[in-house]
Structure 1
Amino acid sequence: MARIDSAALGNRPISRLLIQQAAPASVGILVMSLNILIDTIFVGNWIGPTAIAAINVVLPVSFFIAALGMAIGIGGSSIISRALGAEQQDRALKTFGNQITLTLLLTITMVVVGLVFINDLIPAFGGKGDIFDPAKVYYRVVLYGVPFLALCMMGNSVIRAEGKPNFAMAAMIIPSVGNLILDYFLIYKLEMGMLGAAWATTASYVFCLGYVVWFFLSKNSELKISWPHFGFDWPILKEISSLGFVTLARQAVVSITYLLMNNILFDLGGEDSVTVYAIIGRMLMFALFPVLGVTQGFLPIAGFNYGAKKYARVRKSINTAILYAVILGLLVFTGIMSFAEEIVKIFTDNATIIAETPDAMRWVFAATPIIALQLIGAAYFQAVGKAVPAFLLTLSRQGFFFIPLVLILPRFYGEIGVWISFPIADFLSTVVTGYFLNREIRKSLKTETA
């Protein structure tokens, strides 16, 4: 694995640098998404379609707690990227130490709360009827592993902030491969059902954390922290929190979206409709991997060069990232529109689900070609440490537009109202983000610095 010093973020050609950063990120997201996708296929074929719905019910809770680690990771990594660009090594080290302490404190607390209120949370997120029992089995075991996942997500963002995308990619691949291998043995060979699926997932988080710890203890990392760095530095903690809150708020909205969708669809069509959404949700995680990879690759480049006051390079990185992401989004759009039926048949042989899912999936992905601008635009404000616009733009897609739409449109159009809410929200949030990003470029990135 080639070693890349963080200084390379400030002097290599942007197009080449973005590919070097985005390609490993895309591969890592692809493998992680394939893990979720294949895991769903295994569960659907080896346990049953109700098991798919059960996992979908648990995801909002476990994802939200794991998102604490992701939020702390991305918030702190924005500080680390800018600190490395400004040659402030001690600030970078202190930030990393504070990230570790904060992640452990918050996630362990959330796990305890999640276990105490287990019987209330599962029905609230749509785990009703036949879905409740398998969801409870899966939820309890997966929750034990969420602190490990949170530390992995936090560490992965820091690895990327150091300009080490290949190692960040490996941190995503290892647990994914481990989970699939364990799925085969625990679900198929040992016939452990939902319990096997849950333990396979939790064990994969432990594998991931083992690799992340190895990276930071090895010579590959520039961040060699010591005990004093773990003590809270309140100005740094405040900045981590304000920037990380953007990611946490986004994930909170995702969890709320799952809650609403599972309940609305259960009322409209029962367990089958919840399963339709679960399949589409997996495809959203999987199919958008190249666009999300470009977004992840863009973050450290924009943050480092903004910290170094190389604004011409920041503008170039924005334009290049949007171009690459739009092209990739068009390819995803074409694939979904052309092969929706074939995709659904991979997950299940249930005739009702096969009949209902393809058209719903096409509606959900209808605005994919333009969503790249929204993702890159929101990511830019987070990368350069502007928490308020980052927060508002990140929430615009699902929080300000999608949730109101999905609460209103099904009242008039039934289940189709749920699915058309997706492209409408994507279009509106892209227009808003484009306006604010263009204004920011004209206002704050005018100075040409080499």
Structure 2
Amino acid sequence: MSSKNNSSKLGSEPIGKLLRDLSIPAMIGMFVMALYNVIDVIFISYGVGIDAVAGLTIAFPLMMIMMAVSAAVGIGGASVISRRLGENRENEANRIFGTVLALILIISVGGFIVAFFFLEDLLLLFGATPDILPHAYDYMFPILLGTVFFAFTFATNNIIRSEGNARFAMMTMIIPAVLNIILDPIFIFALDMGVFGAGLATVVAQGSISIVILRYFMKGNSSLRVSWSDVTLKWSLVKEVLSVGLPAFVQQASGSLMMIAINTMLIQYGTDMYVAVFGIIQRIMMFTVMPMIGVMQGMMPIVGYNYGAKQYERMRQTIWLTLKVVILCSIGVVFIMMVFPSLSMRIFTNDPEVIDAGATAMRIMFAGFFLAGVQIVAGGLYQALGRPIPALILSLSRQILFLIPLVLILPQYFGIVGVFMAFPIADFFSFIFSSYLLYRDRDTTLVRGKDEDNQLEVE
């Protein structure tokens, strides 16, 4: 199938088949990416120790900020590009792609500066204790030096999917994940590089796939073409990309703030062990949320393309089908986590104290997870439609408006358990807010396709 047909099929193929074809590769790729994060923690836990897992947990907010910037550029660019392709404005789509590449270069320079001048101070600010700091530093230093690879792969993955080439987008996630899983034991154990080896393995894996992606665009396999003359920072295009990508940045960055708040409260009301426990549960949460994110990512190019093509009924069908799928996924996850929490913890450690603490925390944290799917779909919907304000508010709602305040307040009354109680309560409030926005906009063009002039807005 030609690259042109890859894009045009978004407006013609049956919705169910199209969502399946785009979602399943995204889900597989996300699963594998989550898997190598899990494998990282397993190797480090058994090869270095539970303090090293705590170090990764402290370092992860910084990595999330790097991912947040890349996600803002990639998701924003992908949303704008998919709508331009739907409007048959290929030259404009190419200029936007060039803008994305220019922004990636700027992000990469920022990673170098942080690595050499600010890394230790940031880790201390994020809550690193003397026992944790060396592990956190060793992991993040090589990753920050490889920012160019992370930014390029995260951003272009969204763009590749936006033009309908979900299979190759899946491969850009699977290949580095598999490489990372292979390299981890070599660098950590065989070469005795410890936590530094885990970070280095991740950089090598991302660098390898960056070469494959660059060849994909250079060889003309994409609907887009690479032209160095387009790699510029035209303010109007930068503004459009970043305004649409801002909710993704806020969501990831607020996740970083959330982790800093949680780590601080865990150390204040518990011990370093609870930081490691949370780090393990966080990896499990990332793994379990991936199917819903994969379905949402499959939805976004369909919605964006058909919005640009003014095929509103196809867009409506896509939204409702996606909602049904993610709700079923979230219910299945809750069942598994409630029944087998100790088994999940034993994958990462054989320490009885860590396993018992983790099983209790997991049951509490996953109690409201069955409500998470609605917010995920709502956020992806508004991003795909280029509606940054409601998408931004949704991105802020769970972590900034609800979760962080609850994390800071509840431990004062419930101790360490209060940190974990914050999660299901925040899920409940986020569900109510997301449902309200979707219900409010149910009669507009963007949901039912009744009136072409109506638009989703935040009052």
Q: Shorter-chain TM-score: which interval?
A: over 0.9
Q: CA RMSD in A?
A: 1.6
Q: CA deviation at 1:158?
A: 0.4
**Contact 1:72–1:154 at 8 Å: present in 2 too?**
yes
CA 1:407–1:39 in 2, change beyond 3 Å: closer, same or farther?
same
Any stretches of 5+ residues in structure 1 without a counterpart? Answer: none
Name the aligned partner's letter for residue 428 of structure 1.
Answer: F
CA displacement 1:72-111 (0-9 Å, x = unmatched):
0100111111111111111111110000001211332243
**Contact 2:107–2:151 at 8 Å: present in 1 too?**
no
Report the equivalent of 1:43.
44
Query: SS where residue 221 of structure 1 aligns?
Result: coil
Question: How many Å separate the matches in 1 of 2:218 and 2:365?
Answer: 43
Report the equivalent of 1:77.
78
Aligned length: 450
**Contact 1:315–1:441 at 8 Å: present in 2 too?**
no
Report the equivalent of 2:412.
411
Name the aligned partner's letter for residue 280 of structure 2.
Answer: I
Question: How many Å separate the matches in 1 of 2:449 and 2:198?
Answer: 54
Q: CA deviation at 1:447?
A: 3.5
For 1:145-160, list aligned pairs within 5 A.
145-160=146-161
Report the equivalent of 1:323.
324
CA displacement 1:233-262 (0-9 Å, x = unmatched):
222111111111111111110111111111
Q: CA deviation at 1:383?
A: 0.4
Name the aligned partner's letter for residue 333 of structure 2.
Answer: V
Report the equivalent of 1:220.
221
For 1:421-432, list aligned pairs within 5 A.
421-432=422-433
Q: CA deviation at 1:145?
A: 1.2
Question: How many Å separate the matches in 2 of 1:115 and 1:441?
Answer: 50
Report the equivalent of 1:23.
24
Report the equivalent of 1:352.
353
Report the equivalent of 1:175.
176
**Contact 1:309–1:449 at 8 Å: present in 2 too?**
no
Report runs of 4+ in structure 1 exceeding 6 Å deviation: none
Report the equivalent of 1:340.
341
Q: CA deviation at 1:223?
A: 0.3
Report the equivalent of 2:457.
none
Query: SS where residue 288 of structure 1 aligns?
Result: helix
Report the equivalent of 1:55.
56
Name the aligned partner's letter for residue 283 of structure 2.
Answer: R
TM-score by length of structure 1 reads: 0.97
Q: CA deviation at 1:426?
A: 0.9
Question: How many Å separate the matches in 2 of 1:121 and 1:13?
Answer: 49
Query: SS where residue 327 of structure 1 aligns?
Result: helix
Question: How many Å separate the matches in 2 of 1:362 and 1:170?
Answer: 34
Report the equivalent of 2:363.
362
Question: How many Å separate the matches in 2 of 1:227 and 1:117?
Answer: 32
- Of 154-163 and 109-118, deviating more is 109-118
Question: How many Å separate the matches in 2 of 1:356 and 1:2?
Answer: 53
Question: How many Å separate the matches in 1 of 2:251 and 2:116?
Answer: 23
Name the aligned partner's letter for residue 380 of structure 2.
Answer: A
Query: SS where residue 41 of structure 1 aligns?
Result: helix
CA displacement 1:391-410 (0-9 Å, x = unmatched):
00111111111011111111
- Of 229-238 and 305-314, deviating more is 229-238
Report the equivalent of 1:392.
393
Name the aligned partner's letter for residue 301 of structure 1.
Answer: I
Question: How many Å separate the matches in 2 of 1:315 and 1:404?
Answer: 35
Name the aligned partner's letter for residue 103 of structure 1.
Answer: I
- Of 361-370 and 319-328, deviating more is 361-370
Question: How many Å separate the matches in 1 of 2:192 and 2:111?
Answer: 31
Question: How many Å separate the matches in 1 of 2:281 and 2:259?
Answer: 12
Q: CA deviation at 1:293?
A: 0.7
CA displacement 1:275-296 (0-9 Å, x = unmatched):
1100111001111121111011
Question: How many Å separate the matches in 2 of 1:405 and 1:387?
Answer: 26
Query: SS where residue 441 of structure 1 aligns?
Result: coil
Report the equivalent of 1:230.
231
For 1:172-211, list aligned pairs within 5 A.
172-211=173-212
Question: How many Å separate the matches in 2 of 1:205 and 1:440?
Answer: 40
Q: CA deviation at 1:2?
A: 9.6
- Of 55-64 and 271-280, deviating more is 55-64
**Contact 2:67–2:252 at 8 Å: present in 1 too?**
no
Q: CA deviation at 1:216?
A: 1.1
CA 1:2–1:267 in 2, change beyond 3 Å: closer, same or farther?
farther
Query: SS where residue 385 of structure 1 aligns?
Result: coil
**Contact 1:62–1:146 at 8 Å: present in 2 too?**
no
Q: CA deviation at 1:373?
A: 0.7
Query: SS where residue 310 of structure 2 aligns?
Result: coil
**Contact 1:326–1:370 at 8 Å: present in 2 too?**
yes
Q: CA deviation at 1:219?
A: 3.4
Report the equivalent of 2:99.
98
Query: SS where residue 87 of structure 1 aligns?
Result: coil
Report the equivalent of 2:455.
none
Q: CA deviation at 1:10?
A: 0.6
Q: CA deviation at 1:227?
A: 2.2
CA 1:225–1:49 in 2, change beyond 3 Å: closer, same or farther?
same
Name the aligned partner's letter for residue 287 of structure 1.
Answer: T
CA 1:193–1:372 in 2, change beyond 3 Å: closer, same or farther?
same
- Of 63-72 and 353-362, deviating more is 63-72
Query: SS where residue 208 of structure 1 aligns?
Result: helix
**Contact 2:111–2:145 at 8 Å: present in 1 too?**
no
CA displacement 1:318-344 (0-9 Å, x = unmatched):
100010111111111111111110110
Identity of aligned residues (%): 37
Q: CA deviation at 1:448?
A: 5.0
